[in-house]
């Protein structure tokens, strides 16, 4: 499987599911980047009240950096 990025906040109702999925993805030898944001709500960095707060900006930058590293060709970087 390709490298994966999972971003989740500790206030996200899907925290446990995200941690479980990251564990399973990794257990099968896949590269996983798990970003956990203390106090982050669902959608951190992409929508919601925390989108434009420092934590949201940091989460969005991490996502974009991951995409540049793994998804873009040398010509588009």
17 in a structural domain: yes
Residue 21's domain comprises 4-70
51 in a structural domain: yes
**What mean pLDDT is reported for the chain?**
90
59 contacts 44 by C-beta, under 8 angstroms: yes
75 in a structural domain: no
37 in a structural domain: yes
Distance between CA atoms of 48 and 44, rounded to whole angstroms? Answer: 7
53 contacts 65 by C-beta, under 8 angstroms: no
How many separate domains does the chain show? 1
pLDDT at 17 over 90: yes
**pTM for this model (two decimals):** 0.82
60 in a structural domain: yes
Instruction: Encode pLDDT of 18-41 as tens digits.
Output: 999 999 999 999 999 999 999 999
Vertex 43: Cα angle to 66 and 67 (nearest 5):
15
């Amino acid at each position: 499987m390709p490298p994966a990025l999972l971003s989740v906040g500790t206030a996200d109702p899907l925290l446990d599911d995200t941690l479980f999925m990251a564990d399973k993805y990794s257990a099968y030898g896949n590269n996983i980047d798990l970003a956990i944001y203390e106090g982050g709500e669902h959608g951190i960095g992409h929508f919601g009240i925390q989108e434009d707060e420092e934590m949201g900006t940091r989460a969005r930058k991490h996502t974009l950096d991951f995409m540049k590293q793994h998804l873009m060709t040398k010509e588009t970087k």
